[in-house]
């Protein structure tokens, strides 16, 4: 199987997941930051990872997802400061799925990712802080080994 791993990472959280996917896969594989990634034609599976911005995948990943076509097999993965399973995360994943055109979703995995302290301070100063801010302290140290193992287990179960 030939796999393509594409990721966008603001603070290396999503890159950690992308690297773990790359290391866990057998067969031919390529890994690229989203702004250098080719389209997935010729690949059996494409793994697309992103960080969440304003409750959506980051802009570069959103643009990439919109370019996918019918027949592309896709696994989405992402990191976020919000609590796992929160409405904030569910809405972001639903938004990502809506961008993928006719590509076929084979799986999804998300986990918390530690928010850059400078970003966190800036966000806390907003008149209306985002809903995920209350969960950000719990994201410290993530993604961790348990998160990465959960990702690998999810992929292996496909």
- Sort 118 into a burial class: Cβ within 10 Å, 0-12 / 13-18 / 19+: exposed
Position 120 confidence tier, pLDDT thresholds 50, 70, 90:
confident
Q: Are strands 104-112 and 73-80 parallel, antiparallel or unpaired?
A: parallel
Across the range 102-125, mean pLDDT stands at: 93
User: Residue 55 sits in a domain of what CATH number?
Assistant: 3.40.50.360
Per-residue pLDDT at 80:
96
Name the average pLDDT for the chain.
95
pLDDT exceeds cutoff 90 at 29? yes
> Token pair for residue 6?
């594409």
| pLDDT digits 0-9 by tens, 47-59 | 999 999 988 999 9
Q: The domain containing residue 94 runs over which residues?
A: 2-156
Per-residue pLDDT at 117:
87
Number of independent structural domains in the chain? 1
Position 24 confidence tier, pLDDT thresholds 50, 70, 90:
very high
User: What is the percent of the chain where pLDDT is above 90?
Assistant: 85
Q: Which residues contact 129 (CB under 8 A, 6 or more apart)?
A: 123
Distances, alpha carbon 24 to alpha carbons 19, 107, 110, 139, 154, in Å: 9, 16, 17, 24, 12
Per-residue pLDDT at 129:
87
Across the range 38-43, mean pLDDT stands at: 96
Per-residue pLDDT at 146:
98
| pLDDT digits 0-9 by tens, 76-110 | 999 999 999 999 999 999 999 999 888 999 999 99
Per-residue pLDDT at 88:
92
């Amino acid at each position: 199987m030939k796999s393509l791993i594409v990721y966008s990472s603001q603070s290396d959280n999503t890159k950690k997941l992308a690297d773990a996917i790359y290391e866990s896969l057998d067969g031919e594989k390529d890994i690229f930051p989203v702004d250098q990634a080719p389209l997935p034609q010729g690949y059996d599976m494409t793994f697309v990872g992103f960080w969440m911005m304003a409750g959506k995948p980051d802009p570069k990943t959103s643009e990439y997802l919109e370019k996918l076509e019918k027949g592309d097999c896709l696994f989405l993965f992402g990191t976020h400061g919000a609590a796992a399973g929160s409405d904030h995360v569910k809405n972001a994943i639903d938004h990502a799925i809506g961008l993928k055109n006719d590509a076929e979703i084979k799986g999804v995995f998300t986990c918390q990712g530690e928010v850059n302290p400078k970003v966190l301070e800036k966000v806390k100063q907003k008149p209306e802080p985002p809903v995920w801010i209350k969960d950000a302290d719990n994201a410290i140290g993530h993604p961790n080994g348990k998160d990465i193992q959960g990702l690998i287990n999810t992929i292996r179960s496909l």
